[in-house]
Structure 1
Amino acid sequence: MLDINRLRMLVELSRRGTLSAVADALSYSKASVSQQLRALERDVGVPLLRRVGRGVQLTPQGAVLVEQAIGILDQLEHAEVAVAESLTEVTGTVHIAVFQTAAHALLPPALLALQQQHPSLRVDVAECDPETSLDGVASRDFDLMLAEQYPGRTRPINADLDRVVLTHDAITLARRPGSAPASDAAAALWATRDEPWVLEPAGTASRAWAEQLCRTAGFEPDVHFEVADLTTHIRLIRAGLAVGILPELVWAGDDPTVAVTPLPGAPRREVFSSARRVSAAAPAIRAVRQALAEAAAVILPDDA
């Protein structure tokens, strides 16, 4: 009988491309992954991998086994969900990947509610960028992830994952407290053309969206500070050292500590969750999603 862990390694290799990446994802050494895949080849009786330069590729038989292995892993998850649904109490562990503002605003009230409603449920949380989180859910590193999507930008769609919109929050121009009001949103943005900006690092969705917004307004933002932590953004803006763009969720329902001004078109960011379709019906995942939705409804009631 084929070993499930070895089959998962083969599936992960098909997704991640290298033995090193599989080893990192599954917390094995590269040598151990290689050894287990060789054992799988002996069990099957045919070569599953072939050397290509310094890497490896699946043979046709390896590709066939990957397709079957994915179905086997899905069936195992179906079985786990069926057992969980037969219980009268929500138990188990849910591994969640979140982005920064969701962790800051939504997780504390959601986790407190889950402790009270489902004391036997454990929730483990890791902060990850949405791109990494989506791959992690597909690869079973996480059970659930929260991601953000900016207007006009669509994240990759994975047919194996569902997508549930949690809330929307306004994206606003942020300036130091006491900044002079502008006549309208477009004028407020244009007035920042010669000011220093703080934005998230290049390559992030928020950075690309903010730069495009400024270019549409007719200028290139002068980025003095490239920082991932939005708390640092707030401090720099509050001190008058920079201007920036902040989502409403960053305040977690509290009053802003900087001057916030609507942007042209009053853009809103979408916050959504994704889980594997085969496990989305699990009582633990449903409970976590419900708690997050209730937290969002309190913080952003206008979106409820």
Structure 2
Amino acid sequence: MFDLHRLRLLRELKHRGTLAAVATALSYAPSSVSQQLSQLEAEVGVRLLEPVGRRVRLTEQAEILVAHTEAVLERLERAEADIATSLTDLTGTLRIASFQTAALALVPTALDLLRDRHPHLRVHVTQMEPERALSALQARDFDLVLAEAYPGNPNPRPPELEEEDLLDDPLHLALPKPPDDAHAESPVAALRSLADHPWAMEPEGTSARHWAMTLCRNAGFEPDVRFETTDLLLHLRLVEQKHAAAFLPDLVWSGHPTVALRQLPRGQRTRRIFTVVRRGRSQHPAVLACRDALRRAVSLP
């Protein structure tokens, strides 16, 4: 019988990449992690790690072990959910990761609803972009992630993660100055009119940046990106102060829009917002309660 604790360390190594990252995440010394994995190799009787430069990678046999470990951990999470369901009072800690606009527009209202219905549930919220948060969800750093998907940028999810749609959030071209004739230009022409203007966009490597760059290139120009940040409130302020053009979603507004907006080309007008959980966690009462609170937050005026 293999030691589950050591199997979990091997799984952590797969998701976190380095022994140092595993040690930091679990508050162990790197030497302790290395020693535990060496003992696991002795238990299994085959090599599980092989050096690649200064790092290590999992062998084929280690990947097999990790796949079985994922199945065991999923079953244990289902057991935890069953036990929580059998209790009359919802307690414990629910760990949520959310990107900025959802964290501002939806999460506080959802927290109000959760507090009213489940006062003994402790909710911990971290603002984090989906690209990082989904990896952390797989590593079991979070229980639920609020994520986004931009038009034409599908991101296949690992089979151990489950999505549930929350809302479609309209997207707009935000202009640094009102157009001369808001009805004369087509959406593509409106984009082209800003070809020589500075832009605010999210950083390289994000799905939002890939979508925005593709949109501009399809309109026939390479945008002059001078401001890079995941903070869409800063994007909005830069547009308000006429420093940049930007693409802004409806969720960024706390009231009425404060800048001139134009419609985007067909097929590019909404981003999908959804929640993601691990498959074994989806029926946990805290996850079900949180998803319900978020749906109700969306429906409230």
* Matched residue, 2:45: 46
**Distance in structure 2 (CA, Å) of the matches to 1:119 and 1:200:** 37
TM-score (structure 2 length as normaliser): 0.91
1:233–1:244 contact (8 Å) kept in structure 2: yes
Q: 1:63 to 1:149 in 2, by over 3 A?
A: closer
Question: Contact 2:96 / 2:143 at 8 angstroms: preserved in 1?
Answer: yes
| 1:68 to 1:264, Cα distance in 2 relative to 1, 3 A | closer
Supply the distance in 2 between the matched residues of 1:195 and 1:256 (Cα, whole angstroms): 21
Give 1:121 deviation, angstroms.
0.9
Q: Tell me the matched-pair count.
A: 297
Identity %: 47
Q: Which amino acid aligns with 1:259?
A: A
- Higher mean C-alpha displacement, 176-185 vs 187-196: 176-185
Q: Secondary structure at the match of 1:273?
A: strand
Tell me the secondary structure at the aligned position of residue 260 of structure 1: strand
Partner of 1:259: 260
Residues 174 and 40 of structure 1: is their aligned pair in 2 closer, same or farther, counting only changes over 3 Å? Answer: same
1:247: which partner in 2? Answer: 249
Gaps of 5+ in 2: none
The separation in 1 between residues aligned to 2:60 and 2:208, in whole angstroms, is 41
Provide the rounded CA distance (Å) in 2 between the counterparts of 1:157 and 1:295: 25
Pick the aligned partner of 1:290 from 283, 287, 292. 292
Which residue of the partner structure matches residue 146 of structure 2? 146
Match of 1:206 among 205, 208, 213: 208
Amino acid at match of 2:18: T
* Separation of aligned partners in 2, 1:287 and 1:133: 20
TM-score (norm 1): 0.90
Report SS of the residue matched to 2:280: coil
Q: Is the 8 A contact 2:161 2:276 kept in 1?
A: yes
**SS, match of residue 279 in structure 2:** coil
Do 1:181 and 1:188's aligned partners in 2 also have CA atoms closer than 8 Å?
no
Distance of 1:195 and 1:63 partners within structure 2: 49
d(CA) in 2 for partners of 1:127 and 1:28?
Answer: 25
Contact 1:177 1:257 in 2 (8 A): no
Q: Is the 8 A contact 2:77 2:281 kept in 1?
A: yes
The change in CA–CA distance for 1:212 and 1:289 in structure 2 (over 3 A counts) is: same
Contact in 2 for aligned 1:201/1:226 (Cα 8 Å): yes
Q: Which amino acid aligns with 2:151?
A: P
What whole-Å deviation, never above 9, does each CA across 1:201-246 have from its counterpart, x for those lacking one? 1111111111111111111111121222111111111011111111
Query: Residues 264 and 82 (structure 1 numbering): CA distance in 2 closer, same or farther, change over 3 Å?
Result: same
